[in-house]
Structure 1
Amino acid sequence: MRAALALVMLAGFFVLAVALAGGLTAIAIWRFTIGDVEGGAWMLVLAVALGGPALWATVRAIFARPEPSGFPLARDTHPDLWRHVDELAGIAGTRAPDDVRLVDGANASVWERRGVRYLELGLPLVAGLSVGELRSVLAHELGHYGGGHTQLSSMTYRAKIALQLSVSQDRVFGLLSAWAHLYALVAASESRDHERFADEVAVAAAGRDAAQRALLRIGPVGEAWADYLTSYVSLAVMAGRTPPLLEGFRCYLNHPRRVHELRRLESVLAELEPTSVFDSHPPIRDRVAAMALLTSSDVPIDERPGWTLLTGVSAEAASRLLDVSGPSATWEELVPLSGPAQVRRYAEALRHAGRVSKVGSSLSDVLAALERGELLKLTGRPVDASLTDEQVREAAVDTVTELLGCAVADQLVTANRAVLELNWGGLFVLRLPDGAAVYPDDLVAPAVRDANQVPEVRVRLQAIGVDGL
């Protein structure tokens, strides 16, 4: 019923736009014919302002077509993956997709165009989930096929584009925006039912434990992927070299510190996930709780890494996905090429924050500000007003710790008192002339978190050769 209502509202949106434009244009023509030029001009302006955006957006959306992206995973080169896909499609009571693609982003999705079924699978999920968890993700997406959720994908794709374009241009009375929000409310409710159905398929196909673990892990893997791109892949881009990207992410995920962080994030992200009536997916915590009530067969979880299903993916494919180019290089070779520039950039960001906040731009100034309890002066007000005071402080601690650690590294490297080495648990290790390893983040973190620790941290920094403190 809600699906039909959503389709009716989609049609009604464009009927409203045509009616507004046509009706107001007719009134404008009538006013012109009776000699009321000013009144006709005003009616014409209203017609363009209210109906024009939707009409123009509709024309553009008619010619818009979803196109497959990413790296194609053919049956003959990835037989293990396709074996699981075919098996799960049978369990879901549907036919398998015709085209499976590896894409960037910690997500998976399915869609159809002219009867051709596409499945897009995010590289971070393949690298970060076990085979059992990946089976749950695949079963969930195939459940959308089995539930008939993708049959109208082409039409709804164009309709959503038209809505977005219309609303972005509707800046006069907001009438079209209000209608679009009402449609989003109805469509989101229907979409949430689709997700619950697909979750039931995932539990039936992959087992309850794997399905719950996959749901809880996707968010942290997405966070890890974003940090990996920012902190590590950026080194490759700066150096103009191509390291083994998939292997690098596996090294990142397997570091003991990252393992601990991801486990902690599972419960944190699930608990703090915001909710809205416009959300197309129920909150993760609600989905996990609902899965606990479902009947599940005793399916053993395949703990093998998910990437073992993609042995045919070449290094060139991953580099194309991430837009990384240049001669091959190891991760260790990247550090002397772009590491100093990386820490210098972060150090300059801290100096800029010190200047803007007027606490001072030197390391001594920043430490003095921390000793006075002025951590939040360095980071300023958060953009997200919904964050709690504790969340704001934690974000500030993480940010300043990273920037301050890089500022320390920058000074020592520039003065030839240390060299940088790769560290999958925190970007860089500082290797001192006597061979000692210093982890900058761990060194400065106590001072950032606790003002009383600043004097002791200052002494430690002086001991390894940091000047001007």
Structure 2
Amino acid sequence: MRAVLALVMLAGFFVLAVALAGGLTAIAVWRFSNGDVEGGTWAVVIALVLGGPALWATLRALFARPEPSGFAMTRDAHPELWRHVDELARLAGTRSPDDIRLVDGANASVWERRGVRYLELGLPLVAGLSVGELRSVLAHEFGHYGGGHTQLSAMTYRAKLALELSLREGHTFGLLSAWAHLYALVAASESRDHERFADEVAVAAAGRDAARRALLRSGPVGEAWNDYLTSYVSLALTAGRTPPLLEGFRSYLGHPRRVHELRVLEGVIAEREPKSVFDSHPPIRERVATMALLSSGDVPIDERPGWTLLSGVPPEAVSHLLGVRGPRATWEELVELSGPAHVRRYADALRHAGRVSKVGETLSDVLAALERGELHKLTGAPVDASLTAEQVHEAAVDTVTELLAYAVADQLVTANRATLHLNWGGIFVLRLPDGAALYPDDLVAPAVRDANRVPEVRLRLQAVGVDGL
């Protein structure tokens, strides 16, 4: 019933926009016919301002069509992946997709167009989850097929696109804006029901443990992927070289520090996830709790890494997905080529923060500010007003620790007192002339978290060759 109501309300938005524009246009014609040129002109202007954005967005959306993107995972080249897909589709009581695409982004989605079923599977999920967890993700998506959630995808795609465009590109009339938000409320409620149904399918097809683990782990894997792109793939973009990208992400995830961080992040994301009536998905913590109450058969979890299903994907396809181009290079070579510039960019960010906050641009200035307890002067007011004081503080600690570590690395490398080396567990390892390894983030972290430890950290920095302290 709510699905029908959502569609009616979606159509009603555009009916209302047309009626508004049409009514004002009729008034304009009537004014002009009575010789009231000024009044007619104002009516035309108001019609264009209030109804024009929705009408223009509707015309644009009518010609918009979702198109498959990414790397095509064909049956012949990836038989093991398709074996799992066909098996899970049968367990979900639905037909398999006709086209599977590997895409960038830690997500999976299904949609239909003219009877053709598409499955888009995010590279980070395949690389970061186990086969058992990945099976749960697939079963969840096939639950949307089996529940009929994708059958109206083409029509709803265009309608939602038109709605988004009209709200984004124009100052809609208050009634139109209120109607759009009311539609979002109804549609979100229906979408949450779809997600609960798909979760039940995932538990039944892949097992309760795999479903819960996949749900908890997908978010942290997405965060890890974003950090991997920012901290490591950016080196390839700067150097114009192509490293082994998939292998790099596996090395990132396999580092003991990353394993620990992701395990901690699972609980943090689930606990801190906000809840709103406009959310299209129930909160993860609620979904995991509901899964614990569902019965499932004795389904063993396949603990093999999900990336074993990518054996038929050429390195060039991964490079194309991430926009990386250039001759091949090892990660160690990339650190040598791009590392100093990468370090300098983040060190400049700390100098900029010190300048804007009037704390001072040098390492000595920043350490003095930390000693005075002025950590938050460096980061400024939070952009997200919904964050708690604890969350704001932790974000400030993480940010300043990272930037301060880069600033230390920049000074030592520039002075030829250390060289940069690859470190999958954090920022670069610094090698001192005597061969000793220095981890700058671990070195400066105590000073950022505890003002009383700044003198101790200052002495350690001086001992390894940092000047001006």
Match of 1:307 in 2: 307
1:405 aligned onto 2:408: no
Q: 2:274 matched to which residue of 1?
A: 274
User: Helix, strand or coil: the match of 1:74?
Assistant: coil
| Conserved? CA contact 1:166–1:176, under 8 Å | no
How far has the Cα of 1:165 moved from its partner? 1.2
Q: What is the RMSD of the two structures over their aligned residues, measured on CA atoms?
A: 0.8
Where does residue 464 of structure 2 map in the other structure? 464
**2:212 & 2:307 partners in 1: Cα distance?**
20
Any idea what SS the aligned residue of 1:361 has? coil
Paired residue type of 1:128: G
**Aligned residue in 2 for 1:56:** 56
- Cα deviation digits, residues 207-250 of structure 1 (max 9, x gap): 00000000000110011000000000000111111000000000
Q: Does 1:221 align with 2:198?
A: no
1:132/1:303 contact within 8 Å kept:
yes
- Paired with 2:421 and 2:134, the residues of 1 have a C-alpha distance of 33
CA distance in 2, matches of 1:87, 1:467: 63
Which residue identity lines up with residue 378 of structure 1 in the other structure? L
Aligned equivalent of 2:196: 196
The equivalent of 1:354 in structure 2 is: 354
Give SS of 2:430's match.
strand
Displacement of 1:169: 3.3
Instruction: Give the letter aligned to residue 138 of structure 2.
Output: L
Match in the other structure for 2:427:
427
Q: Within 5 A, what are the aligned runs for 1:444-463?
A: 444-463=444-463
Q: Classify the secondary structure of the residue corresponding to 2:428.
A: strand
Question: In 2, Cα distance between the equivalents of 1:417 and 1:310?
Answer: 42
Q: CA deviation at 1:361?
A: 0.4
**Aligned residues of 2:427 and 2:441 also touching (Cα < 8 A):** no
Q: Distance in 2 between matches of 1:356 and 1:102?
A: 43
Over residues 42-88 of structure 1, what are the superposed CA-to-partner deviations in whole Å (9 max), with x where a residue is unaligned? 22122112211111111111100000011000000100000000000
Q: 1:177: Cα distance to partner?
A: 1.7
The two structures have a TM-score, normalised by structure 2, of 0.99
Amino acid in structure 2 at the alignment position of 1:457: V
Matches of 1:386 and 1:156, distance apart in 2:
31
Moved over 4 A (4+): none
Instruction: Measure how far apart 1:172 and its partner are.
Output: 5.3
SS across alignment from 2:367: helix
Q: Which residue of 1 aligns with 2:164?
A: 164
Asked if the contact 1:203–1:296 (Cα under 8 Å) also holds between the matched residues in 2, the reply is yes
Q: Percent identity?
A: 84
Q: Secondary structure at the match of 2:118?
A: strand
Equivalences for residues 136-147 of structure 1 within 5 A:
136-147=136-147
**Aligned residue in 2 for 1:175:** 175
- Aligned to 1:119, the other structure's residue is in SS state strand
- Equivalents in 1 of 2:431, 2:23: separation in Å? 75
- The aligned residue for residue 264 of structure 2 is 264
For residues 108 and 199 of structure 2, what CA distance do their matches in structure 1 show? Answer: 14
Write the letter of the residue equivalent to 2:25: T
Q: Which residue of 1 aligns with 2:135?
A: 135
Matched letter for residue 354 of structure 2? G
Deviations 1:250-292 (A, max 9, x none): 0000000000000000000000001111111000000001101
AA at the equivalent of 1:375: L
Aligned to 1:316: 316
Mapped to 1, the partners of 2:414 and 2:22 lie a distance apart of 69
Q: How far off is 1:171 after superposition?
A: 1.2
Contact map agreement 2:51 2:172 (CA 8 A) in 1? no
- Provide Cα deviations, 1:365-395, integer angstroms capped at 9, x if missing partner: 1000000000000011110011111111100
Paired residues, number: 469
In the alignment, is residue 121 of structure 1 matched against residue 90 of structure 2? no
Per-residue deviation, 1:13: 1.0
Secondary structure of 2:325's counterpart equals coil
The separation in 1 between residues aligned to 2:380 and 2:49, in whole angstroms, is 39
Instruction: Verify the 8 A CA contact 1:70 1:102 in the aligned structure 2.
Output: yes
Go from structure 1 to structure 2 and tell me whether the alpha carbon gap of 1:290 and 1:172 turns closer, same or farther (over 3 Å shift).
closer
**3-state secondary structure, aligned to 2:422:** strand
- Give the deviation of 1:427 after TM superposition: 2.5
CA distance in 1, matches of 2:11, 2:243: 50
Query: What is the SS of the residue equivalent to 1:423?
Result: coil
Deviations for 1:161-216, whole angstroms, at most 9, x for unmatched residues? 10011112331533222111111111111000000000000000000000000000
Deviations 1:124-149 (A, max 9, x none): 00010000000000000011000000
State the 1:94 CA deviation: 0.6
Match of 1:205 in 2: 205
Ranges in structure 1 where 5+ consecutive residues have no aligned partner: none
Q: Distance in 1 between matches of 2:433 and 2:87?
A: 57
The residue number in structure 2 matching 1:43 is 43
Match runs of 1:92-103 below 5 Å = 92-103=92-103
Q: Does 1:325 align with 2:325?
A: yes
Distance 2:27 2:357 in 1: 57
CA contact (8 A) 1:58 1:162 kept: yes
Summarize deviations over 1:344-381 as a string: whole Å, max 9, x none. Answer: 11111101111111111000010000000000000111
Separation (CA, whole Å) in 2 of partners of 1:172 and 1:130: 46
Q: TM-score, normalised by structure 1?
A: 0.99
Encode CA deviations 1:387-422: one digit per residue, 9 max, x unaligned: 111111100110111111011111111111000000
In the TM superposition, residue 157 of structure 1 has moved relative to its aligned partner by 0.5
8 Å Cα contact 1:128-1:305 kept in structure 2:
yes
Aligned counterparts of 2:285 and 2:172: Cα–Cα separation in 1: 40
- Following TM superposition, by how much is the alpha carbon of 1:306 offset from its aligned partner in structure 2, in angstroms? 0.3
2:355 aligned partner, one-letter code: R
Q: CA deviation at 1:156?
A: 0.5
Q: Is the 8 A contact 1:232 1:427 kept in 2?
A: no
Structure 2 unaligned spans of 5+: none
Identify the residue that residue 379 of structure 2 maps to in structure 1: 379
How many angstroms apart in 2 are the aligned matches of 1:416 and 1:21? 69
